[in-house]
Amino acid sequence: MRIELQSVEALRFQDGSPVRAASAIAAFGDGFLVSQDDATSACWWRAGVGMPVRVLPPVDGHDSFSETEGTKALKPDLEAALEVVLDGSPAVLMLGSGSTAARMRAVLVGLRDGVPWAVSRDLSPLYARVAALLGIDPEQVNLEGACVVEGVLRWFHRGRPAAGLPSSSVELDLGALVATVAGRAEPADLHPTGVRAFDLGEVGGVGLAVTDAVTLPDGRVLVSAAAEDSPNAYDDGPVRGSALAVLDGTRVHATAPLPSIGGRVAKVEGLAVLGWDGHGGRVLAVVDEDDPATASALLTLRVSL
């Protein structure tokens, strides 16, 4: 597999402020919805301009969160986003990572007469069941990517390969999950199944771990991965490298390193496919800079198999 970097664009809102900590991207209306993992708003990216979209109410009076301000434990950490359907209309489902109690929420975002709306739901019972299914302590949960394979949600756990915790995935009834977030069913009724584990290799002795996933037209899954030397599921660490990989079941069909951006490792945390055929295609990727003052990057990549 080969990856060509076609363009790099800084994600900013209309007022020039940066899109912080981009962690997921999904098609939304005539643009894309980009999650900020350390804020209660997302970015609706349309024709090169970002518009803030509130997806959650303030948390203890805060709408953005950082370690320096002592509010990191409150951040919603919405790390996965994917297109779904609610009542026959398109919407975006956003999922928290689950690594703290504040990160066990999901959000549905849609459009009504061209105006965004959002509804959220605490899914703590579901995250507890995922931890039990994976056989890990709740504080180790770090669900960072999700896609739909044959109508079933495949939810990816990043893991920490260096600590013997490989990247893995679980499966969930997508319709039941959407209904639950919409307030029409109970979180306790959601039952994850189908554990899969993945070995994506390593960079500089640090294992590559899944940060996002998108389904390809042939049913295989394209994932982004980062080799981040972090001590746990909560704290950031130095990123030694990053890559894309194509998964066929649990088999790694192809892999390639992501190009650096300005001499730095591109920690890609969100993917969206623009077009794909049997030989590859074009992919959008968002980069989490792990710095609230730095605008997240939007990459256009050409992937060739």
224-252 core/surface letters (b: 16 or more CB in 10 A; e: else): bbbbbbbeebbeeeebbbbbbbbbeeeeb
Q: Tell me which H or E stretch contains 181.
A: helix 174-181
Give which of 259, 251, 172, 157 is closest to 213, Cα–Cα.
157
Q: Tell me, what's the pLDDT at 258?
A: 97
Per-residue pLDDT tens listing for the chain (305 residues): 999 999 999 999 999 999 999 999 999 999 999 999 999 999 999 999 999 999 999 999 999 999 888 999 999 999 999 999 999 999 999 999 999 999 999 999 999 999 999 999 999 999 999 999 999 999 999 999 999 999 999 999 999 887 889 999 999 999 999 999 999 999 999 999 999 999 999 998 899 999 999 999 999 999 999 998 876 656 677 889 999 999 999 999 999 999 999 899 999 999 999 999 989 999 999 998 878 888 999 999 999 99
pLDDT score at 238: 80
Q: What is the pLDDT of residue 245?
A: 98
Q: Please give the pLDDT value at position 234.
A: 60
Whether 77 and 95 have beta carbons less than 8 Å apart is answered as: no
Helices (H) and strands (E) in the chain, counts: 2, 22
Size (the chain), residues: 305
Break the chain into its structural domains and give their ranges.
2-304
- pLDDT at residue number 293: 84
Give 246's Cβ-side CA count (13 Å radius).
21
- What is the pLDDT, as a whole number, of residue 146? 98
pLDDT in the model for residue 208: 95
| CATH 2.120.10 for domain 2-304 | yes
Strands 143-149 and 193-198, by their bridges, are unpaired
pTM score: 0.96
